[in-house]
Structure 1
Amino acid sequence: MSTMREVAARAGVSVKTVSRVFNDDPHVLPDTRERVQVALRELNYVPNELPSILRAGRAPVIGIAVPDIVDPFFAAITQSIQRLAFEREMFTLVISLGSDAELEQPMVEGLLKRGLSGLVLAPITVDQSYLSVWAMRLPVVFVDRQPARLAADSFTEDDEGGADTATTHLIAHGHRRIAFAGERPLLRTAAGRLAGYRAALARAGLPEDPDLVLVGVDDRAGARDALEVLRRLPDPPTAIFSSNARCTMHLLPALRPREFALVGFGDFPMADVVSPSVTVIDQDPYRLGRLAAERIFDRLDAPDRRYRRRTVVPVHLVERQSCQAGPAVRG
């Protein structure tokens, strides 16, 4: 690989002049510019940015750590961050944390040791205090889920309000036995959505039946088992509130035609074309990713400026057909 010094020798100029031509400095004389450009082409010069990166102490890279990069929700967040990073001439390094809480810290710290300029994290544990030292060195922004035991920027959805809206919508369709299906309420997202479900029932004067609250619906097998539990109840539900898009997608293949009305928290690909199309609470993951990326760049540009730490993004109901499915409700 040719060096800038070799280009300078070929063109008969200084290394500084080569740098000025390469960076399109308008003050270089035309004949000098032409000689340097010819030398650049002849030597196939490619700039080595590593020295400047080492001098700056960080790479022009934003790290992204999410539970599952295949999940449509987190894939959309990642894509949105990548788009803005590219506009800022930065790149992204993405990792999938999975579901093993013990792996979050070593995986995230391994990512941070790459000399990042910033980090966007959707955590899978209930303690991010291990990031306290890192957060003093570079911008750390949480997305979808708030940090625990750490002061950091976060952009989350209105989990409780969205779940309340979804459950209230099913109640408005005449349902009085509404099941909750979702993850274990360890993370704040799951806990908030369960709280919203309970708030809607309480406001409508409906008792909460513990038999209708099913957690741990993490895969298709879990979804099949959950539905079998509901079917065997002496007084089964007529509707289900699914607390996240992954859970909804696991439930759909195991549902019988018009078996239960359904509203899910989170839109997903094909939700509008399956039969019946799925009523959802739309989280707008592209907006979440954009907001998280913008905060990273804001803090890089103005590190001493004060920002609001926590931002809760509104969600809204997208009504389709599934909320009208299910058996005839009982009065």
Structure 2
Amino acid sequence: MSTMQDVASHAGVSAKTVSRVFNADPHVRPETRDRVERAMRETGYVPNVLARTFRHGRSQSVGVAIPDVGDPFFSAIVRSVETVCAPAGVTTLVASIGDDPERERDVIEALLKAQLMGLILAPVAEDQSWLEPWLEHTPIEFVDRPARGVEAEELREDDVDGARRAVEHLVSRGHRRIAFLADRVHPPSTQRRRDGWRLGLRDAGIEPGDASDDADRAGDTTGASEHPRHDLVSLEATDPESAAAAIARMRALPEPPTAAVTANARVTMRAFEPLKRAGLAFVGIGDFPMAHALTPAVTVMAQDPAELGRRAAERALERFESPAEPAREHALIPMHLVVRGSTPAPR
């Protein structure tokens, strides 16, 4: 583990200057700041959080870094973390990463520099190996998405089984042509749910027949299998207009779908009106406020983000005293089917 003096020598400055850069002193010249920050990265320097805690008073904050604080799923995680932390006198600091992987490191490092008792993270980037030095001092719990490039504790939903059961429910209603609507392919959860959609069809004796089949048989899990080309798959439902366009395209097929699985609550909300107008039955993955009050009320595979947040917060607080303890929590939390009015039999 490198020290502040190692960084100072690497950057050609004093240890006091390194300290000023770390504490965001506005009087440090930009070129000096850039040189010191580059030296921190190159030497793998992480400030001794526990030592600073004992000198200046124990941190009383847990951080939560998520893609979107406005997403019902992630906001429920935040509320649950706050429910665990507040009675213990611990403040919850929340940061939104957004969808840009390039922002992830800056956002997370800003939180970690606050001497957190722990961090709860739903990443968007493909690699978190740079977090390795921080894990020696700070408990980090990954939620919803797996850690990549680093060994860390993970808690997430059983996405594959949830999507498989959504298809199973639609098949039980008599549907055979079942579409899959998503808003992006990047998050691992979308990939897992697409895999669950395919598995559900195959369980029912329906061959998905998408281009990923050949790639899967060839052992390629990073190419076509991540970007399926299929008439009944859309990854473009990023807003109501694109969701409507995707559904219109599918409805114009010689054999149009009679039902759909929507990959998350965002997509369900965007696609609700065009799905309703098209007369398609649908199951949404993830419940959301007012889903039960719409017409038709939305059948969902309900996740349990509150349970994710609760377990992650409790585990972070438990590990604060021994953050270097080997990661051991790799939990899959099942989804459950809530049947409402959006899954009638085919017309």
- Normalised TM-score (structure 1): 0.79
Corresponding residue of 1:49: none
Rounded Cα–Cα distance in structure 1 between residues aligned with 2:122 and 2:281: 30
Is 1:255 matched up with 2:255? no
Is 1:285 matched up with 2:305? yes
Rounded Cα–Cα distance in structure 2 between residues aligned with 1:58 and 1:133: 20
Once the two structures are superposed, residues 180-219 of structure 1 have per-residue CA deviations (whole angstroms, 9 ceiling, x without a partner) of 0113333221111111110111121112151001113222
Is 1:318 matched up with 2:338? yes
Assess if the C-alpha contact under 8 Å between 1:163 and 1:196 holds in 2.
Answer: yes
Rounded Cα–Cα distance in structure 2 between residues aligned with 1:254 and 1:238: 13
Once the two structures are superposed, residues 120-145 of structure 1 have per-residue CA deviations (whole angstroms, 9 ceiling, x without a partner) of 00111221112111111100001111
Rounded Cα–Cα distance in structure 2 between residues aligned with 1:289 and 1:117: 15
Corresponding residue of 2:69: 69
Is 1:296 matched up with 2:316? yes
Mean CA deviation greater in 57-66 or 283-292: 57-66
For residues 137 and 216 of structure 1, do their structure 2 counterparts lie closer, same or farther at Cα, with a shift above 3 Å needed? Answer: farther
Corresponding residue of 2:99: 99
Rounded Cα–Cα distance in structure 2 between residues aligned with 1:57 and 1:156: 33
Matches within 5 A, 1:1-331: 53=53, 55=55, 59-209=59-209, 210-257=230-277, 259-303=279-323, 308-324=328-344, 327-328=346-347
Assess if the C-alpha contact under 8 Å between 2:275 and 2:281 holds in 1.
Answer: no
Larger radius of gyration: 1
Question: 1:276 offset after TM fit, Å?
Answer: 0.6
Rounded Cα–Cα distance in structure 2 between residues aligned with 1:221 and 1:115: 44
Question: 1:298 offset after TM fit, Å?
Answer: 1.3
Assess if the C-alpha contact under 8 Å between 1:185 and 1:194 holds in 2.
Answer: no
Rounded Cα–Cα distance in structure 1 between residues aligned with 2:169 and 2:163: 10
Assess if the C-alpha contact under 8 Å between 1:57 and 1:115 holds in 2.
Answer: no
Rounded Cα–Cα distance in structure 2 between residues aligned with 1:149 and 1:106: 18
Rounded Cα–Cα distance in structure 2 between residues aligned with 1:146 and 1:56: 34
Assess if the C-alpha contact under 8 Å between 1:97 and 1:103 holds in 2.
Answer: yes
Q: Secondary structure at the match of 1:287?
A: helix
Corresponding residue of 1:48: none
Rounded Cα–Cα distance in structure 1 between residues aligned with 2:298 and 2:312: 28
Assess if the C-alpha contact under 8 Å between 2:136 and 2:324 holds in 1.
Answer: no
Q: Secondary structure at the match of 1:321?
A: coil
Question: 1:56 offset after TM fit, Å?
Answer: 5.2
For residues 245 and 292 of structure 1, do their structure 2 counterparts lie closer, same or farther at Cα, with a shift above 3 Å needed? Answer: same
Question: 1:58 offset after TM fit, Å?
Answer: 5.5
Question: 1:306 offset after TM fit, Å?
Answer: 5.5
Assess if the C-alpha contact under 8 Å between 1:120 and 1:143 holds in 2.
Answer: yes
Letter in 2 for 1:215: L
Assess if the C-alpha contact under 8 Å between 1:126 and 1:187 holds in 2.
Answer: no
Q: Secondary structure at the match of 1:69?
A: coil
Question: 1:63 offset after TM fit, Å?
Answer: 0.7
Number of positions where the alignment pairs a residue of Structure 1 with one of Structure 2 = 277
Letter in 1 for 2:242: G
Q: Secondary structure at the match of 1:234?
A: coil
For residues 56 and 309 of structure 1, do their structure 2 counterparts lie closer, same or farther at Cα, with a shift above 3 Å needed? Answer: farther
Q: Secondary structure at the match of 1:85?
A: helix
Rounded Cα–Cα distance in structure 2 between residues aligned with 1:305 and 1:113: 21
CA-atom RMSD in angstroms: 2.0
Letter in 2 for 1:185: V
5+ long unaligned stretches in structure 1: 1-51
Letter in 1 for 2:182: G
Q: Secondary structure at the match of 1:132?
A: helix
For residues 58 and 216 of structure 1, do their structure 2 counterparts lie closer, same or farther at Cα, with a shift above 3 Å needed? Answer: farther
Letter in 2 for 1:239: A
Rounded Cα–Cα distance in structure 1 between residues aligned with 2:133 and 2:327: 19
- Normalised TM-score (structure 2): 0.76
Assess if the C-alpha contact under 8 Å between 2:137 and 2:324 holds in 1.
Answer: no
